[in-house]
Amino acid sequence: MQASGLSSEPNYSRRSFFGRVSQWSALFAAYPLIPLPNLVESLASDSRVAQTPVVDKGFASVRKVGEGLYATISDTSKGLQTMCNGGFLAGKEAALLIEGFVSPAGAAFQHEMLRTISQTPIMGAIDTHYHFDHSMGNSYYGANGIALWAHINTSRRIFESYAAMQGVDKSVIVGPIEAQAKNAKSEMARKHAEQYAATIGNIFGVANATVVALPNRPLDPAKLPIHLDLGGLTAVVETYPGHSGTDVIVRVPAQNVVYTGDLLFNNMYPVTFDGQASVSGWRSTLKTFLSWSKDTIFVPGHGQICGPEGVQLSLDLFDDVEQQAHKFHKAGVTAEDAADQYVVPEKFKNVGIFAWSLSIGPTITKLYKEWDAK
Ligand SMILES: [Zn+2]
């Protein structure tokens, strides 16, 4: 046998290994680091909501929001182990975890917090949808024998979106967006495309740093809602349109507490880039949320815990983007150009934007499509 395979340069050099590791730590250079605001006054005085968190690790805190109900709230300005919000429900006979988070460390943190509060058997963990920041920590649950529940299309979409990035040259994924930035017609368009390239580069980094794990308990939307009896605590899993085509929420009607996943962003422009996101569908979902009891506590996918005022803000943001887009549409501005021309009004200047081209931009192009289809 020839030793042709034994070249002096191994295919996986230490340098390439450390390159991958540092990609993770440098991951969110472009992520908007918005500090978590305090609870709104109505919730700060709500008897269901604990005034102080059970634990505050910086990157996330866990707070009691009802009998046996806990919210895990991320503060991305302090760390990115969890990145999205989640929570857990601890009944007398069983517990349920919500979200796989962006990393196994995030899922581990939440599991450990549950275990400090309850030793009850775990029925499962739920990914509210397939997006990386809610699912790249799934392998922790798999390694710990915790069943993973999700919308029936979540597994396929995790695989197609993130496993498909693994081992691919980064330039294949990010190059076309960088070219778009180079050829941009305006300064705004260039800025948005550069930010988009950085964000997709970050997601590429996460996907390549992750041992992807897929949910093993598919939830067929035709069979939802389902009621989960945790022992003195009933959770209802429902599905609604809007954000990703794979969205499920966990609702506890007896206590008026809802874990919305990304169907609600509190104080952030809704993220609508997904091929299956629908502006009109999302608005109808938000209106359904508003039709529930006025004292409903919402645990959003991102941002602080809120009441109906957080849902109303999302609708107001959609309204504002729509009003401006409508003017562009009437003036004959193309969808592509209009997507960069929205101006954030003074009253929304403290509202977060998770990459323009994943939120405001696609909201405008989707509205154009809905109008042009009429
Ligand atoms: Zn999402």
Would you state the pLDDT for residue 79?
86
Look up residue 156 and give its two tokens: 């396929």
Would you state the pLDDT for residue 80?
87
Given a cut of 50, whether residue 287 has pLDDT beyond it is yes
Would the CA dihedral through 230, 286, 268, 102 be positive or negative? positive
Per-residue pLDDT band at 302 (split at 50, 70, 90):
very high
**CA 304 to ligand 1 centroid distance, Å:** 16
**CA 3 to ligand 1 centroid distance, Å:** 49
Look up residue 329 and give its two tokens: 């549409």
Section 156-178 average pLDDT: 96
**CA 239 to ligand 1 centroid distance, Å:** 14
Would you state the pLDDT for residue 34?
74
On average, the pLDDT of the chain sits at: 92
Would you state the pLDDT for residue 1?
41
Given a cut of 60, whether residue 24 has pLDDT beyond it is no
Residue pointed to by tokens 């979200």:
99
The percentage of residues in the chain with a pLDDT greater than 90, rounded to a whole number, is 85
Of residues 288, 355, 347, the one with CA closest to residue 320: 347
Phi–psi pair at 281, nearest 5 degrees: -65, -40
Q: What is the pTM of this model?
A: 0.93
Asked if 363 and 270 touch (Cβ cutoff 8 Å), the reply is yes
3-state secondary structure 324-344: HHHHHHHCCCCHHHHCCCCCC
Strand 248-252 and strand 217-219: pairing?
unpaired
Per-residue pLDDT band at 261 (split at 50, 70, 90):
very high
Given a cut of 80, whether residue 315 has pLDDT beyond it is yes
As a whole number of angstroms, the distance between CA 370 and CA 84 comes to 29
Amino acid at residue number 111: H
Long-range contacts of 106-109 (CB under 8 A, 24+ apart): 106/59, 106/60, 106/81, 106/82, 106/137, 107/137, 107/138, 107/140, 107/141, 108/137, 108/140, 109/57, 109/60, 109/72, 109/81, 109/82
Of residues 76, 75, 127, the one with CA closest to residue 97: 127
Given a cut of 50, whether residue 357 has pLDDT beyond it is yes
Determine whether 25 is exposed, middle or buried from the number of CB atoms within 10 Å of its CB (0-12, 13-18, 19+).
exposed
pLDDT, tens digit, 9 for 90 and up, residues 48-70: 999 999 999 999 999 999 999 99
Per-residue pLDDT band at 32 (split at 50, 70, 90):
low
Section 283-293 average pLDDT: 98
As a whole number of angstroms, the distance between CA 175 and CA 33 comes to 25
**CA 96 to ligand 1 centroid distance, Å:** 20
**CA 337 to ligand 1 centroid distance, Å:** 25
As a whole number of angstroms, the distance between CA 52 and CA 175 comes to 46
**CA 74 to ligand 1 centroid distance, Å:** 14
Sheet of 226-229, strand order: 226-229, 234-239, 248-252, 257-265, 297-302
Of residues 92, 129, 67, the one with CA closest to residue 261: 129
Where are the strands (E) in the chain, listed by range? Answer: 55-56, 60-66, 69-74, 86-90, 95-98, 122-126, 148-151, 217-219, 226-229, 234-239, 248-252, 257-265, 297-302
The percentage of residues in the chain with a pLDDT greater than 70, rounded to a whole number, is 91
**CA 4 to ligand 1 centroid distance, Å:** 47
Section 136-142 average pLDDT: 97
Mapped onto helix, strand or coil, the DSSP state of residue 315 is helix
**CA 8 to ligand 1 centroid distance, Å:** 44
Would you state the pLDDT for residue 342?
96
**CA 134 to ligand 1 centroid distance, Å:** 7
Asked if 181 and 230 touch (Cβ cutoff 8 Å), the reply is no
Residue pointed to by tokens 């760390």:
79
Strand 257-265 and strand 297-302: pairing?
parallel
Given a cut of 80, whether residue 21 has pLDDT beyond it is no
As a whole number of angstroms, the distance between CA 112 and CA 110 comes to 5
As a whole number of angstroms, the distance between CA 31 and CA 259 comes to 24
Would you state the pLDDT for residue 6?
46
Given a cut of 80, whether residue 22 has pLDDT beyond it is no
Given a cut of 50, whether residue 369 has pLDDT beyond it is yes
